[in-house]
Structure 1
Amino acid sequence: MTLFLADFKFISFWWLFILGFSVLLLPLTFALFHRFFDRGYIFAKILSLTLITYIIFCFSVIRLLPFTQFSILIILLLILFADLFYFFKLKNWSSFKKIFLVSFKFILFEEILFLTVLALWSYVRGHTPDIDGLEKYMDWGFVNSALRTHFLPPADMWYAGSPINYYYFGHLVFALLTKVSGLPSAITYNLSIATVCALTFVSTFSLSANLVFHYLKSNIHHLKSIILAGLLSALLLTFGGNLHPLYKIIKTDIQNNGYLDLSIKAIKLAASTYWYPDATRFIGFDPDVSNKTIHEFPLYSFVVSDLHGHMNDIPLILCFLAFLFSYSLSIKNFGLFLLLIQKNFWLTISTGLLTILFWYLFTLPYSLNFIPMAEGLKLVDARSAFYQLLVLYGGFWLISIPFVVYFIKTSLRSRFAVIARSLRRSNLISNSDFFVLALLLAATILVIIPELIYVKDIYINDHRRANTMFKLVYQAFIMYSLSGGYILIRLRKIFVYRLLFLLVLIAHLIYPYFAIKSYRDSHSEFKYWGLRGTDYLQEQFPDNLAVINWINTNITGQPHLVEAVGDSYTKFNQVSSATGLPTVVGWLVHEWLWRGGYDGPGSRATEVSVIYESTDSTKVRDLLQKYSVEYILVGSQEREKYPNLSEKKFASFSRVVFQSNNTRLYEIN
């Protein structure tokens, strides 16, 4: 606990920067979410981080502003001046202050909630802080490359001379926070995971609570119901799982006893043998068939702690959904609006085209440097068994179907021709109802799509639809969970439904217990180690850590280096990941995916072998010049990878600038 209290200064410092950013965007946030009882306060954090990063990204891509602390300060000052103009020149200060004071209690509650979850998950991360395993080298490398890049887009640290050809905006957001805070990325990596977790929890709370608030006719006196809905949805979305642990308990119980008793002993036995990724690798794996899929959800992402795009996007998705709901509130009757769309078809088409055009222009700075990896759509030839879908989504369907049935029955009380007018008069169905119904419909469609078609990419054969399912059902889980708290309050007068919801909630919350226990048991010594994610290197790769520290202290800019080529998901390419210095080629399968084929990465891998094993100095030097390499690393992993390594030749055109035991870093003359 003493170590955590020492780390709390990092958490507090990080939180203050996020708070400062969000304050700058409060006027815009209050305007966008003026019908929310909390004025959408928590979304100011998401909007500020996104908008500030996007502005500096655009200016940097066209070479007007470098990605530096000074440039970020300029952007912050411009936003501050815009705020001052809004407050004083346009005379909005008094109204803004009044709104702020009216919502202050809710704002304070959400801020405390955010800091609490931020500290909580930072504490959890401190038990396994190592930036090691799965794709952490990749994610950390993206952040470190962005920190070193002068003009964006960031360089690919595993493909020297080329920009990153993957989804990196979330990494860029946290690189920006790292840059302005001045904290080392070895610490901010874990703080970034905790930040996404905290933003997810409080954003879900705000949106779900506002859904209930507007269903209850904007009556803040129903405070208990509003807060309960928000907390339940936040709990489901952030810390809930699917029904796989329950399935595992039942299966283990029957296999061992021949019957089902669901005793404490049976639950403990299932928990002791449970492997937490199984909930995300169920279809195609249990039973083992040639139709393997991925169906992750937020808590799994928070537990494994890969700072991946699908996880980084959660707060942005919630912010977008909140904006859609806020916009729907400006329409007197959302149901009427949906019915009128069909009567003005051409207006709908033109609005849709304008939206597509805006999205194209908005993403243009990114897409100019991005080569798509998809190769078209294919029909699915093997589908999931229905019982498997029930294991994954049955809990959500159990709490959603009664609401849908209620919605349909209520709608049918009036003739279809006058449905919008009658519902508006009777107040039987609210904008919140329509919005939640839309969420449930969208989520269900996202679950169905990978049962029909998939996007053809590098994942082939047994895993052909894995990536498509992964990307779609992740969003479905968010939408289903978000709806849960609202539906409970909507049907709260039905006792059987309240009991059903409680049982489903308990079933979904088995996963965090099973997952954290499984993750804890997979580590030999589970205690609080601190937030710095590189301390494990001191024990496992001390010489590599020494090189990393020397590079980060002594080398500025982003010169290229060469190190051993690594297979994906291994401990190779640590130095390029930890420093952001691009190597000739890093994790091969990842670059194969990002570059749309194996020829480029494969050719580079062969050339790196020549660099290390050839005795022809001229040939080696030509290859080094081809990739503008300035530094050569020779350490334990290089000697392991290249048994015929010839080191003597490097002395003819380079000098040792750093050495730790038998690990040497050469600088080319």
Structure 2
Amino acid sequence: MANILLWLMAVEILGLITFPLCYFFFCRLPDRGIVLSPVLGLLLVSYVFWVLGLIGGFGNSRFVIVGILLVTCLVSLEVVRNSRSDLLGFLWRERFHIVTGHLLFLVIFVTWISVISQVPAINHTEKPMDFGILNAVLRAESFPPEDMWLAGHTINYYYFGHLMMGVLTQLTGIASSVTYNLSLALIAALASLGAYGLVYNLVRLSGRFSRSATLFALIAPLFVVLIGHLVGVLDFVQAQGWGSEEFWHWVNIKDLSKSVAENGSIFPQSYNWWWHSSRVIDTVVGNNSLDFTISEFPFFSFLLGDLHAHVLSLPFVILSLCLGLNLFLDDSPLRDMWSKRRICEVLVLSLSFGSLAFVNIWDLPVLLGLLGALIFLRALREESISLAKTVLRTLVVAVPIFVFAMIIFLPFYLDLQSQVSGVLPLLEVSTRPFYFFLVWGLFLFITVPFVLRQFWSIPRERLLDERLLIITVVVTLVPISLWCGVAFFLIQADGGLVEAAISVGSRFGKLLPLILFVGICVFAGLARNKQGEHEIAFVLTITALGYYLLMGLELFYIEDFLPLRMNTVFKLTYQAWLLLALASAFGAYYWLTRPVPKNFGLRVGNHLLVVMTGLILLGCLYYPVGAALNRIQSADDPPTLDGLAHVKQRDPDEYYAILDLRDNAPWGRIVEAVGPDYSDHGRIAASTGLPSLLNWPGHELQWRGSSVPFVGRDKDVDLIYRSHIPEEVDALLKKYAVRYVYVGKRERAKYGEKGLGVFTSLMRPYFQSPGVTVYVRDINAY
């Protein structure tokens, strides 16, 4: 409990210190960005901390972070001094919104803490990797940190999200094995709070008062982080033993191939039945996957417990969306963007959008594209200029922001080795419409009527606006036209003109409804923007972008180290979920507050739509309840937030060795047994932040695109443990500048006992227990 309170206190202090800056930066939003203050504070403090770490000489400690906080506090106090009466009046007017936001944050945080504490172990999927990055950041003497599984090389991954959690870890002094799990709950709470704040502002901008806007905004966190999709309905059907063999064969989802009666249970009882909901989009032939993809959504991610980049980025993507909305609401001439008065806004835009690549690089192109679209829409409001000048003014404003966003994170880019080799057309597979509906059904039922309503009510003269029509056609048809050209050329080269025409025509026909809907959404957004309905235009823009991403996933994929479009679907559907969840939250508010149509047919249709949407929402809520219960029931150990408690229970000697190395041992490289990915190997390095010679080689290959940096290291480690020749071992220890050698169960099981006596002649024991010995070598020997 003390750790939880201390963690919450640190977040609250960050928010309080940064609130005056939010009040200044988010000057056009009704709530002045107050609920985003912890997110902005964490970003600002962590960026300065990272820059100081790059420079070197400042140390990686709590004192540096406190110093940064004090400077930030002084800046905020200056803002308060200049706007004291306005600030007090604002806080009083927004008190209901502020209190509700804090309660929401606490409810989400405590809810996830209660779930995570049942299954806290850092011992599966990507957890050890994320834990290792967190500890590598905490133990780094300067940045970038050294790779915990490849000593001598820096981490070749986007680690800024882990660094931000590391900042809170340093500030609070809580053990990283606990803050790993606290971070998961924090990200869920911050993402919920940010979603709530964004939709609150949109509802307020549409004319609602604070109290009603607060209540409607609570829909946003529900859609973003608390619901599943409609595969849960199939899980329910399967659990009841319903459905014929032919039905389940038609469904054709792995682990949902037949009905399994669960003796009257509402939920499936099989271990981790909720896993397959993240592997829905596939083409399965004879139980073989031809299009194996990952289609995670936030609730699944938090339940799984990986502190991965796409999860860490959620609140910071929402922060960037709010900054984009704040910019979009400005009606002053676009050329004023570069005035001295606005330079602070440009800086915070660049920092927020630029940080996205450092947290999760997949977010950057999508969010920069959105920012460019919002700047273009702003320029389009200026009636007196041509379309060419509109584009030019957009570039004049957008390009410097984009460039500066890159420059302030340039050290990260210079150190990163990308494994992306290109963008290729998707020819072999496509998403089955049934699977598409299972994943996106709820959002479709809300956003499609909302978009059609906005399009239907556009004035006739605006429907014939030549500029809007040109923009719509270009934006909508460019990706499909490009794909058709490339695909036709490639297919006809192998199969002839007829096969090419059939394949291209079939894909185009399948995507035609989505293409038309995206076009309608784009045009409606352009029209509403011209009419000054900024909040509607913004929602239509993020809706169009969400479906644009989904359309793009059926046309192209990014060539990288994973099969076909697995990673592309994984990363881009996550962004689409966030965008469409936010748009759907506003769309739900819109439908709930519109007058009921007087026409009998329209009134009946409206009621049917509400009922069907409610049933679909109920189906989407089945999954999170059942999945959370299944996850909790799978726990064997007492509740705790310590992610290493399972090690303490099963191998206490290893646990206390980890604590000593993590908390007391000076930094240095360590040798431990080398083993495969997704195993207990590499645990010492991952848990202490001390870089080992090699572990999880599959991940290292993914990160670096080649085995050249570590070829032969596994043999060297083998020789260190097995050799009987002290000179041979000594040479290898010097080669890698090794400070520690760890000898525990895994080392004895893999390398045997015979060569371990060599260490006593070359090193001295640092830690000893019946099952573990850690040897240390004088670093001055190198």
SS at match of 2:156: coil
CA contact (8 A) 2:115 2:628 kept: no
Task: Tell me, in whole angstroms, the C-alpha distance in 1 between the residues paired with 2:546 and 2:529.
Answer: 29
In structure 2, the partner of 1:488 is 588
In structure 2, the partner of 1:301 is 301
1:519 matched to 2:519? The reply is no
Task: Tell me, in whole angstroms, the C-alpha distance in 1 between the residues paired with 2:179 and 2:191.
Answer: 18
1:608 matched to 2:717? The reply is yes
CA contact (8 A) 1:588 1:602 kept: no
Q: CA deviation at 1:514?
A: 2.7
> Which amino acid letter does the alignment assign opposite residue 179 of structure 1?
Q
Moved more, 174-183 or 141-150: 141-150
In structure 1, the partner of 2:67 is 74
Task: Tell me, in whole angstroms, the C-alpha distance in 2 between the residues paired with 1:562 and 1:428.
Answer: 66
CA contact (8 A) 1:39 1:103 kept: no
User: Mind listing any 5+ residue stretches in structure 2 that lack a counterpart?
Assistant: 252-258, 334-373, 469-523, 595-605
- Taking a change above 3 Å as real, the CA distance of residues 425 and 247 of structure 1, as seen in their structure-2 partners, is closer
1:54 matched to 2:100? The reply is no
SS at match of 1:658: strand
- Taking a change above 3 Å as real, the CA distance of residues 384 and 478 of structure 1, as seen in their structure-2 partners, is same
CA contact (8 A) 2:745 2:772 kept: yes
Moved more, 12-21 or 637-646: 637-646
Scaled by the length of structure 2, the TM-score of the pair is 0.78
Task: Tell me, in whole angstroms, the C-alpha distance in 2 between the residues paired with 1:631 and 1:140.
Answer: 20
Q: Deviations over 1:421-445 (max 9, x none)?
A: 9999999882221111111111112
- Taking a change above 3 Å as real, the CA distance of residues 208 and 623 of structure 1, as seen in their structure-2 partners, is same
Q: CA deviation at 1:299?
A: 0.6
- Taking a change above 3 Å as real, the CA distance of residues 379 and 642 of structure 1, as seen in their structure-2 partners, is farther
1:177 matched to 2:168? The reply is yes
Q: CA deviation at 1:314?
A: 0.1
* Residue in structure 2 matching 1:242, options 219, 229, 235: 229
Q: CA deviation at 1:315?
A: 0.2
Q: CA deviation at 1:189?
A: 1.2
1:582 matched to 2:628? The reply is no
Q: CA deviation at 1:536?
A: 1.0
Task: Tell me, in whole angstroms, the C-alpha distance in 2 between the residues paired with 1:388 and 1:53.
Answer: 40
Moved more, 79-88 or 156-165: 79-88
In structure 1, the partner of 2:777 is 668
Task: Tell me, in whole angstroms, the C-alpha distance in 2 between the residues paired with 1:506 and 1:576.
Answer: 45
Task: Tell me, in whole angstroms, the C-alpha distance in 2 between the residues paired with 1:232 and 1:266.
Answer: 35
Pairwise CA RMSD? 2.9
User: Mind listing any 5+ residue stretches in structure 1 that lack a counterpart?
Assistant: 1-6
Task: Tell me, in whole angstroms, the C-alpha distance in 2 between the residues paired with 1:522 and 1:108.
Answer: 36
Q: CA deviation at 1:128?
A: 1.2
Task: Tell me, in whole angstroms, the C-alpha distance in 2 between the residues paired with 1:529 and 1:379.
Answer: 48
In structure 2, the partner of 1:255 is 244
* Residue in structure 1 matching 2:79, options 77, 81, 86: 86
- Taking a change above 3 Å as real, the CA distance of residues 424 and 405 of structure 1, as seen in their structure-2 partners, is closer
CA contact (8 A) 1:237 1:481 kept: yes
Task: Please list, as runs of the form range in 1=range in 2, the aligned pairs for 1:78-117 lying within 5 A after superposition.
Answer: 78-88=71-81, 91-117=82-108
1:41 matched to 2:30? The reply is no
- Taking a change above 3 Å as real, the CA distance of residues 227 and 502 of structure 1, as seen in their structure-2 partners, is farther
CA contact (8 A) 1:310 1:471 kept: yes
Task: Please list, as runs of the form range in 1=range in 2, the aligned pairs for 1:591-630 lying within 5 A after superposition.
Answer: 591-630=700-739
Task: Tell me, in whole angstroms, the C-alpha distance in 2 between the residues paired with 1:256 and 1:363.
Answer: 55
- Taking a change above 3 Å as real, the CA distance of residues 495 and 212 of structure 1, as seen in their structure-2 partners, is farther
Task: Tell me, in whole angstroms, the C-alpha distance in 2 between the residues paired with 1:619 and 1:135.
Answer: 35
Q: Deviations over 1:195-234 (max 9, x none)?
A: 001111111111112211211x2x316x33x234311221
In structure 2, the partner of 1:4 is none
> Which amino acid letter does the alignment assign opposite residue 444 of structure 1?
Y
Q: CA deviation at 1:238?
A: 0.8
CA contact (8 A) 1:563 1:632 kept: yes
Task: Please list, as runs of the form range in 1=range in 2, the aligned pairs for 1:211-360 lying within 5 A after superposition.
Answer: 211-215=202-206, 217=207, 219-220=208-209, 223-224=211-212, 226-250=213-237, 253-255=242-244, 268=265, 271-273=268-270, 275-284=273-282, 288-331=288-331, 337-338=379-380, 342-344=387-389, 345-360=391-406
Q: CA deviation at 1:272?
A: 2.7
Q: Deviations over 1:509-548 (max 9, x none)?
A: 12102321332343346xx512222211122222211211
CA contact (8 A) 2:462 2:527 kept: no
> Number of residue pairs matched?
649
In structure 1, the partner of 2:679 is 570
Q: CA deviation at 1:164?
A: 1.1
In structure 2, the partner of 1:469 is 569
Q: Percent identity?
A: 28
* Residue in structure 1 matching 2:447, options 400, 424, 430: 400
In structure 2, the partner of 1:533 is 643
Task: Please list, as runs of the form range in 1=range in 2, the aligned pairs for 1:449-464 lying within 5 A after superposition.
Answer: 449-459=552-562, 463-464=563-564
CA contact (8 A) 1:56 1:65 kept: no
In structure 1, the partner of 2:407 is 361
- Taking a change above 3 Å as real, the CA distance of residues 645 and 366 of structure 1, as seen in their structure-2 partners, is farther
Task: Tell me, in whole angstroms, the C-alpha distance in 2 between the residues paired with 1:604 and 1:285.
Answer: 39
